[in-house]
């Protein structure tokens, strides 16, 4: 393998034209799309149109004339196509944390009605913290136990005390992917419900929600929706078919999830279907940006869609692992991402006993943007929509130089920023 061969891989890549959809800054190799996706070219003008025309000129009328009021459902339908769900099963609203609160509450309410002796929420010890904090909060409020276990120990926890199994499909630290179908089936066989967080899956890897109960996901990572973009929530239609709030109840009962918000009646009656997971007024500017981001992923559909993106993602991560292990051998970098393609998301993480933060900073100064996750992880995301094989080569070349030169030992690379 050499740089020339990487350029050839790009020339042969059927997904290569998708890169032209994005504004990519000169001199940057961006391997952090798993934290914040890049800017689609369409976004700036679309946001400007919403600001100047829909808001500025048409004002309040745009709730009807520009279809603002239907954004949670319209964007939800688009995301559904990316996560193996059906139209009408997803809404866009709020943040991932808030949506997790909604769906985990709904799941726990279902269990409380049907099997109150089930009092344990199981999750992974290294799940993304906000998921654990939300689950901790609900466990506290309801007197339940939140049990955190290592990924390999999950299967052993599925017994008749289990209320809800709550997992993130692709781990934010290691990029390790859970067997969604198997774990959903096993939890159901044990009589429990399952909630999946698709933050590192939507737009990154194919997802088959199948018979799962609820899911949430993030708009600003692989969906390229912009910083702090709204998130989404999915519920299996067997749950949202019930209009009886004893059968499905989520506590963030805001007016936009009401069956008739503009009747202004004093009592809450949830909207039909998944729309009851909408709460407050949709954040229109942010929704418009997110829609452009979702569209940038949907643009892969004629080229093979998520399956094609997945093939390229694995080729990119495989190449990165191979090059780092060959060219940085003896530099103390230990792969933390599964070698087995089946269990690998769209990122690669290496641990290093010390210096991880500084090495990432030294790379950033060279224009190779990955990130560091305490205590010891160097994390690199590979978004097949816009990452080229030659970017992988060049990123590793920089890493080789950073390690061999020892430049990362300079003091300035150790000054922690507020957000690391």
Give the footprint of its own copies on residues 19-38 (CB under 8 A). 23, 25, 28, 30, 32, 35-36, 38
Q: Which of 3, 14, 20, 57 binds its own copies (CB under 8 A)?
A: 57
Q: Which of 32, 77, 197, 371 is catalytic?
A: 197
Sequence-distant (≥ 6) Cβ neighbours of residue 60 within 8 angstroms? none
- Unique residue bearing structure tokens 């694995």: 314
Q: How far is the CB of 361 from its own copies (least distance, A)?
A: 11
Q: Does 110 bind its own copies (CB under 8 A)?
A: no
Q: Which of 376, 379, 386, 389 is catalytic?
A: 379
Residues 340-399 that bind its own copies (CB under 8 A): 364, 369, 371, 373-374
Least separation in angstroms between residue 170's CB and its own copies is 16
CB of 43 or CB of 313, closer to its own copies:
43
Interaction of residue 62 with its own copies, rule CB under 8 A: yes
Question: Of these residues, 19, 102, 221, 344, which one is catalytic?
Answer: 221
Q: Is 283 in the site for its own copies (CB under 8 A)?
A: yes
Q: Which is nearer to its own copies, 108 or 180 (CB)?
A: 108
Q: Could you tell me the two tokens for 145?
A: 């136990």
As a whole number of angstroms, the distance between CA 321 and CA 312 comes to 14
Q: What tokens does 75 get?
A: 């964007």
User: Judged by CB under 8 A, which of 289, 314, 359, 392 binds its own copies?
Assistant: 289
Q: Are 111 and 104 in contact (CB under 8 A)?
A: no
175 vs 185: CA distance, rounded Å: 22
96 binds its own copies (CB under 8 A): yes
Helices (H), ranges, 41-179 = 41-49, 62-65, 71-80, 96-114, 129-142
- Of the pair 84, 88, the CB lying nearest its own copies is at 88
Is residue 411 within the footprint of its own copies (CB under 8 A)?
A: no
Strands (E) in 269-354, as ranges, are 334-335, 347-351
Residues 164-223 close enough to bind its own copies by CB under 8 A? 220
SS3 135: helix
Q: State yes or no: residue 325 binds its own copies (CB under 8 A).
A: no
Cis-peptide into 375, omega within 30 deg: yes
Q: Under the criterion CB under 8 A, does residue 282 sit at the interface with its own copies?
A: yes
Size of the site for its own copies (CB under 8 A): 90
Residue 47 sits in the site that holds its own copies (CB under 8 A): yes
Dig out the tokens for 107 from the structure: 């799941």
- Cβ proximity to its own copies: between 44 and 334 the closer is 44
Does the annotation mark 77 as catalytic?
no
222 assigned to active site? no
* CB of 226 vs its own copies, minimal distance in Å: 6
**d(C-alpha 174, C-alpha 323), whole Å:** 18
Single out the residue of 284, 291, 295 nearest to residue 50, CA to CA: 284
CB 262 within 8 A of CB 242: no
**Class of residue 302 by CB neighbours under 10 A (exposed 0-12, middle 13-18, buried 19+):** exposed
- Span from 137-145, 158-166, 175-183, 206-214 in contact with its own copies (CB under 8 A): 137-145
**Residue 264 among the catalytic residues:** no
- How many CB atoms lie under 10 A from the CB of residue 365? 15
Active site members = 128, 197, 220-221, 379
């Amino acid at each position: 393998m050499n740089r020339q061969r990487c350029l050839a891989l790009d020339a042969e890549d059927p997904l290569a034209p998708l890169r032209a959809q994005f504004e990519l800054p000169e001199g940057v190799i961006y391997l952090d799309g798993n934290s914040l996706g890049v800017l689609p070219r369409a976004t700036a003008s679309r946001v400007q149109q919403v600001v100047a025309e829909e808001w500025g000129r048409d004002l309040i009328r745009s709730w009807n004339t520009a279809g603002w009021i239907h954004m949670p459902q319209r964007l939800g339908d688009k995301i559904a196509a990316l996560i193996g769900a059906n139209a009408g099963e997803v809404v866009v609203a709020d943040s991932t944390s808030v949506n997790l609160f909604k769906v985990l509450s709904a799941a726990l309410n279902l269990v409380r009605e049907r099997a109150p002796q089930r009092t344990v929420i199981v999750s992974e010890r290294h799940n993304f913290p906000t998921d654990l904090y939300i689950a901790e909060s609900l466990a506290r409020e309801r007197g339940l136990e939140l049990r955190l276990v290592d990924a390999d120990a999950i299967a052993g926890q599925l017994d008749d005390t289990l209320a809800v199994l709550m997992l993130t499909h692709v781990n934010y630290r290691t990029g390790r992917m859970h067997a969604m179908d198997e774990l959903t089936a096993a939890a159901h066989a044990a009589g429990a419900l399952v909630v999946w967080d698709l933050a590192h899956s939507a737009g990154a890897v194919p997802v088959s929600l199948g018979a799962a109960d609820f899911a949430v996901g993030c708009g600003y990572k692989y969906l390229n929706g912009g910083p702090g973009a709204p998130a989404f929530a999915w519920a299996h239609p067997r749950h949202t078919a019930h209009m009886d709030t004893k059968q499905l109840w989520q506590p963030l009962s805001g007016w936009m999830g009401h069956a008739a918000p503009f009747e202004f009646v004093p009592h809450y009656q949830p909207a039909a279907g998944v729309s009851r997971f909408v709460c407050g007024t949709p954040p229109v500017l942010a929704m418009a940006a997110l829609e452009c981001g979702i569209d940038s992923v949907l643009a892969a559909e004629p080229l093979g869609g998520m399956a094609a993106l997945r093939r390229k993602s694995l080729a990119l991560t495989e190449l990165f692992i191979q090059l780092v292990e060959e060219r940085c051998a003896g530099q103390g970098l230990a792969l933390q991402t599964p070698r087995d393609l089946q269990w690998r998301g769209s990122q690669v993480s290496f641990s290093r006993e010390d210096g991880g933060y500084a090495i990432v900073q030294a790379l950033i100064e060279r224009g190779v943007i990955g990130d560091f996750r305490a205590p010891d992880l160097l994390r690199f995301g590979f978004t097949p929509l816009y990452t080229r094989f030659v970017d992988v080569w060049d990123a590793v070349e920089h890493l080789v130089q950073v390690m061999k030169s020892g430049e990362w030992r300079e003091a300035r690379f150790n000054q922690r920023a507020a957000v690391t």
